[in-house]
Structure 1
Amino acid sequence: MTSLSINLFLFAERAQFPGPARTVQMSETMHAKIHAKACAKAHTRTSRQNAGLPALSELGADFLLASRLQRLLWSLLPLTTLAIFSATYALRYYALLPVVILAHFIVSTTFTHDVVHGSAGAGKRTAEWLLFGMSLLLLESGHAFRHAHLYHHSHCLEDDDFEGSPARMSLLGALLAGPLYLPRHWLHAYRLTKRKDQRRWLLAESLAPIVLVSCAALLLSWSAAPLTYFGFMWFGSWLYPVTTAWLPHFKPDQSMLGHSRTLRGKIIPFLLCNLSYHLEHHLYPQVPSFNLPRLAEKLDPYFAERGVYPVKVV
């Protein structure tokens, strides 16, 4: 995409999403980041048009909006669940720790995911520090997540889409890819970006887990809680190939409506913080996760006309 076409695309986006909605959508970008996101959005828009689906402005620009309280509560969930983990450990309810850590893992990755797409309402500088902060909580690189995930959206399930590659593996293959997934994911992201400031973030976030785990080891005589937490997060990351690629994308076809699944229900989507609306997310990635259920209802007639039927869950 040439600079002229990018500028024309951004001009069209301004016309399509005026006012606060566009501010939320474009708040996180620098020039190079605008280039990457513009390419991803242009790819998504073209594919969506080829699938015969309307632009988001036709469905309702309010899908991009959220109240300040809603965004504040959403951003506090990772810290809230971390506090619950600490209290659960202190009270020695060890049997509950896997459940608590799973909830913490889901809300943390979902919030990071919204920051990556610029739908969390954070400004440019705030988004950089949020990604770094989430790196400390999740024991992985938030900036690597951003670069690799935006590339996944613009090159979904193509040969060079590392993040989507487990979708073409067997379940066993995706599970075996887990232990080395994050280091390979980081290398993929590092190769994608040539900007020095972004590579500095990536390098800092690659060193952070070493520092944190070392500090947790030093604190072991006082409390095993930090090391237990980091152990849960590290082993949990082994499931990324299955949970982020194999399950939502397994056995894809080449069509825009066939490369992702969508799950509909009340309990499962709620427990997964709406990450189960994966097809809707790929079609309209700028929509915040907490607005995906409303968007899904709006898309149901279009899906039915095109023979796309969501998977029903509880």
Structure 2
Amino acid sequence: MKPRVGDLALHIARISLCATGVALASRIDSAALAAAAGGALFFAAFALMHDVAHGALRLPRRANEIALTLSAAVMLMSGHALRLMHLRHHARPLAPDDIEGAPARLPLLRALLGAPLAAVALRAEALRAAGPSGRRHQLAEAALNLASLALLLASRQPALLAVAATAAALQLTMAVWAAYIPHNAPAWMLAAARRLAFTRSPIALSLGYHERHHRIPGLPCSRLAVPSPHRR
């Protein structure tokens, strides 16, 4: 099957736009703009990582692995750890061993308060469950994450510190926005997300069509709202 070049180009364009926002914020030394652009960049990278984790872009294997590592590195995370836990979630949604989906089984307040520990548990379980090759990938990605974080902190620039803080905050609340809300979203929220599908926002699409994603995980996020996906 041919790579889905259009979907990849959309991801690259979105990430490039957000990265430009971060660069501009750094240039004018605006922490507020950096936090906003950094948050947008995090979600743009997450969308790419998610499609790559499912092989939805049909990239060659080596290119897919590189894209997995680099997209997660933008979020200061391990792509191989995220993929391992996410594919387990798809195989056994909300089962006892579904660490990623566990917060969705809790009341909202407990999911929110326990989100930081859930983030640590997810990474620890991914490392434990990986084979030798996967563990090496995760450890290398962890080293890359720490080096990137050290560089951001060493800059002492308010804008870059804001980017690091935003990435940390989104990681530590992922149990809520990536697990609890998609599986417990009220009807009005789903309806609002679907009305925004025309923007091709990965947030709106992944929320409004979460059940469809579980049925067709190999479909790129940008195509979730299309009634009859084009198969090439």
Alignment TM class, shorter chain as reference: 0.7 to 0.9
**1:243-298 CA distance string (max 9 Å, x none):** 111111139xxxxxxxxx78421269744252121011001111111111103xx5
Residue matched to 1:243: 177
Q: How far off is 1:70 after superposition? A: 4.1
2:222 maps to 290
Amino acid corresponding to residue 294 of structure 1 in structure 2: V
Identity of aligned residues (%): 27
Q: SS at 1:293's partner residue? A: coil
Q: CA deviation at 1:155?
A: 0.6
One-letter amino acid of the counterpart of residue 210, structure 2: H
> SS at the partner of 1:105?
helix
Q: 2:200, 2:222 within 8 Å by CA — same for their partners in 1?
A: no
1:126 corresponds to which letter in structure 2?
A
Q: Work out the CA distance in 2 between the residues paired with 1:230 and 1:197.
A: 29
Q: How far 1:231 sits from its partner (Å)?
A: 1.4
Residue number in structure 2 paired with 1:3:
none
Give 3-state SS (helix, strand or coil) of 2:206's partner: coil
Larger deviation: 269-278 or 145-154?
A: 269-278
Structure-2 separation of matches of 1:266 and 1:216: 34
Tell me, in whole angstroms, the C-alpha distance in 1 between the residues paired with 2:70 and 2:91.
26
Relative CO higher for 1 or 2, CA cutoff 8 Å, sep ≥ 6? 2
Matched, 1:264 2:201: no
| Number of residue equivalences | 223
Give yes or no for the alignment of 1:125 onto 2:69: no
Structure 2 equivalent of residue 161 of structure 1: 98
Task: Identify unmatched segments of 5+ residues in structure 1.
Answer: 1-19, 25-65, 252-260, 300-314
Cα distance in 1 for partners of 2:19, 2:74 equals 9
The match for 2:212 among 268, 280, 284 is 280
Paired with 1:153 and 1:136, the residues of 2 have a C-alpha distance of 23
Return the alpha-carbon distance in structure 2 between the equivalents of residues 270 and 102 of structure 1.
Answer: 17
Aligned match of 2:146: 210
Q: 1:173 aligns with which of 102, 110, 130?
A: 110
CA distance in 1, matches of 2:86, 2:199: 21
| CA distance in 2 between partners of 1:247 and 1:264 (Å) | 15
SS in 2 for 1:246: helix
TM-score, length-scaled by structure 2: 0.85
Within the candidate set 56, 62, 80, 1:143 is matched to 80
Match of 1:198 among 120, 125, 134: 134
After superposition, the C-alpha distances for 1:38-70 in whole angstroms (9 at most, x for unaligned) are xxxxxxxxxxxxxxxxxxxxxxxxxxxx4x344
Residues 181, 289 of structure 1: alpha-carbon distance in 2 compared, 3 angstrom cutoff: same
- Please state if 1:107 is matched with 2:44: yes
Question: Which whole-Å deviations, capped at 9, do the CAs of 1:95-131 have from their partners, x for residues lacking one?
Answer: 3334323322221111110000001232111111112
Instruction: State the SS of the aligned residue for 1:275.
Output: helix
Letter in 2 for 1:208: L
Aligned alpha-carbon RMSD (Å):
2.5
Matches within 5 A, 1:58-97: 66=4, 68-97=5-34
SS in 1 for 2:77: coil
Q: Could you tell me how far apart the structure 1 residues matched to 2:50 and 2:15 are? A: 13
Cα deviation, 1:59-93, whole Å, max 9, x if unaligned, reads xxxxxxx4x34422323422331221120232244
Shift of 1:179: 1.8
* Per-residue deviation, 1:152: 0.2
Deviation for aligned residue 1:228: 2.4
